[in-house]
Amino acid sequence: MNCKQPKKSPLLEVCDLQTWFPIKRGIMARTVGYVRAVDIVSLHINRGETLGLVGESGCGKSTLGRTLLGLEKARRGKILFCGKNLLELNRRELREIRKSMQIIFQDPLTALNPKMNIIDIITEGLVEFRLIQGTREDHAKRLMNEVGLDEEAIYRYPHEFSGGQRQRINIARALSLRPDLIVCDEPVSALDVSVQAQVINLLMDLRDRYNLSYLFISHNLSVVSNIAHRMAVMYLGKIVEYGPTGDIIKNPMHPYTKALINAVPKPDSEEAKHKSKRIILNGEMPSPSTPPSGCTFHTRCMEAMNICREKAPQEVKSGKHGVWCHLY
């Protein structure tokens, strides 16, 4: 635990965050437009809490996670972590605070340097920040034990492990600096279904043991509903609905959330019950460089009205559940 902020305030608070990528054209590489990957997003994460971020591929959820860690440049907004706005810190201050924010990537193999052995991989951060007390071997063995791997394997290389074991190594590396927040970017989607539950259980155990906070990014709603306390649903760079996970699953309000929940495969008996209510999303997600006017979901929404094409909906809040839709 690195953050010493009072426990009552959120660990992370994001206000009106925008991450746009310029589209360059011509020999002068003139900027002719922007891909609005993250477009005015606000959210918060408390200590020990998991916020699930769901949406289709390309909706901007990974870009949002990467922006929080400074891996992408924010255009405007605020990222308050541990009470400090990360977008106003200098390089030295940022480097220091990054110890408390780590990431677990989707593909466990490409996230590991194949030329480095496990002891080097999982103690790299400790060496960088001069946090080794005792020997590197002791630290590496402790981390291997924490993620349920054989401590004697620290001199092996990534290709000698299975996919699930490699993701455990990534988790060990993320844990090494005792972070407060971990961005889990689709951490189980590249794994066999049989291994996914084990990795999710490990993440939940570690969260409870170390009071970690997670931003858990996934396109798989059933995975997120198992681990997240709260959920935010993202479409075309914007949050369209958020709230406690149970509320969202039982009582989704936004037509997009309803379609995502409806798309989760159900057992045959349940499937028969829900057949008449099946919601099919029309077409593809529009390009984030030319988002539709009004509600950006109107081109695919079965309940779209005239106002939806003209005016962007405002947030409607009921307790801890919020939605952006003209139906409410």
The residues that touch ligand SF4, with contacts defined as CB under 6 A, are 254-255, 295, 297-298, 301, 303-305, 308, 313, 325-327
Q: Which is nearer to ligand SF4, 32 or 305 (CB)?
A: 305
Q: Which is nearer to ligand SF4, 249 or 304 (CB)?
A: 304
Pick the closest to residue 177 from 110, 223, 122, 221 (CA basis): 122
Token reading at 308? 């939806």
Q: Which is nearer to ligand SF4, 154 or 281 (CB)?
A: 281
**Least distance between ligand SF4 and beta carbon 16 (Å):** 20
How far, in Å, CA of 213 to CA of 158, rounded?
27
The answer to whether the CB of 204 falls within 8 A of the CB of 169 is no
Angle between helices 118-128 and 163-175 (to 10 degrees): 20
The answer to whether the CB of 245 falls within 8 A of the CB of 230 is yes
Pick the closest to residue 36 from 55, 22, 48, 53 (CA basis): 22
- Helix then strand then coil, in percent of the chain rounded to 5, is 35, 25, 40
**Least distance between ligand SF4 and beta carbon 301 (Å):** 3
How far, in Å, CA of 153 to CA of 137, rounded?
11
**Least distance between ligand SF4 and beta carbon 64 (Å):** 20
Q: Which is nearer to ligand SF4, 171 or 231 (CB)?
A: 231
**Least distance between ligand SF4 and beta carbon 117 (Å):** 51
**Least distance between ligand SF4 and beta carbon 309 (Å):** 8
**Least distance between ligand SF4 and beta carbon 277 (Å):** 17
Q: Which is nearer to ligand SF4, 127 or 305 (CB)?
A: 305
Number of residues written out for the chain: 328
Q: Which is nearer to ligand SF4, 10 or 313 (CB)?
A: 313
Pick the closest to residue 150 from 172, 128, 131 (CA basis): 172
